[in-house]
Amino acid sequence: MANICTPKSFDLTGKVALVTGASYGIGFAIASALAANGATICFNDLRQDLVDKGLAAYEEAGIKAHGYVCNVCDEEAVQAMVAKIKEEVGTVDILVNNAGIIKRIPMIEMSAADFRQVIDVDLNAPFICAKAVIPGMIEAGGGKIINICSMMSELGRETVSAYAAAKGGLKMLTKNIASEYGQYNIQCNGIGPGYIATPQTAPLREPQADGSRHPFDSFILAKTPAGRWGEAEDLGGPAVFLASSASDFVNGLILYVDGGILAYIGKQP
């Protein structure tokens, strides 16, 4: 008989989690939730001073994390980081592809170089990171990959063509990893956050000169049945679920954590 679900099904004790770009923001909150449920945390950032800042934040939160300097777009560097983690901490059991960027530029004004850069960080890098950890997961008998998708995996809006193309692609990369490696007991799922209050969305929430709300801020409140922006911590529970054995038969799913945005037509006038 299959195991019934108990609190132990969510326990991540003994698991090694690599959360990319997790010095702060959503990555930090997800890593903190994984750590609170027993996982050992590894993360990376672009420079040593940023890694050091991240390490200090984890220490302040009572978490012993392992930080690495690595650009997720650099395949050689990612392979070297995963090898170093194996040597210093253990095989990566859980990968969270969190590192990401956005450029808000009207499409006909956007250079191809800018478009490519967004695709490189938000789509090519998750491929590079997943490719680097999957052989170790196969050898270990299984693993979990969580790709941080977006509302823009489903919806478009003005100025975010590259981001939407990348996050839409990431949704399909998620389904393809699930399809190709499910036979090795690897589950690859996505989390699609709604509008979350982090540095990435700070420009959309900045109060106006007269102290009133930014129009985009009001727009999001009206679009979200929950009536608020998400907090990075709102993503912790879904991440623990998708990282744990409680979700062992969930594969290729994008779990939208959006306060109901995708279910809603918007506030009536």
With CB under 6 A as the contact rule, the residue among 194, 236, 238, 259 that binds ligand GCO is 194
Query: What binding mask, one character per residue, do residues 96-135 give for ligand NAP by CB under 6 A, x or -?
Result: --xxxx-------------------x--------------
Instruction: Please give the Cα distance from 68 to 43 (Å, whole number).
Output: 6
Choices 4-12, 114-122, 182-190, 193-201; region in contact with ligand GCO by CB under 6 A: 193-201
Q: What is the CA radius of gyration of the chain?
A: 18
Smallest gap from Cβ 24 to ligand GCO, in A, equals 15
Instruction: Please give the Cα distance from 47 to 258 (Å, whole number).
Output: 31
What CA dihedral angle connects 144, 149, 154 and 155, to 10 degrees?
A: 170
Choices 79-87, 119-127, 155-163, 242-250; region in contact with ligand GCO by CB under 6 A: 155-163
Of 133, 152, 155, nearest to 143 by C-alpha is: 133
Instruction: Please give the Cα distance from 130 to 210 (Å, whole number).
Output: 47
Smallest gap from Cβ 53 to ligand NAP, in A, equals 8
Does the footprint of ligand GCO cover residue 163 (CB under 6 A)?
yes
Picked from ligand NAP, ligand GCO, none, the partner binding residue 3 (CB below 5 to 8 A depending on kind) is: none
With CB under 6 A as the contact rule, the residue among 78, 129, 137, 148 that binds ligand NAP is 148
With CB under 6 A as the contact rule, the residue among 193, 236, 238, 259 that binds ligand GCO is 193
**Continuous segment of H or E residues that includes residue 263:** none
What 3-state DSSP class applies to 211? coil
Does the footprint of ligand NAP cover residue 72 (CB under 6 A)?
yes
User: Tokens at residue 240, please?
Assistant: 């623990």
Length of the chain: 269
Q: Are 41 and 35 in contact (CB under 8 A)?
A: yes
| Binding-site ranges for ligand NAP (CB under 6 A) | 20-21, 23-27, 44-46, 50, 71-73, 98-101, 121, 148, 150, 193, 195-196, 198-201
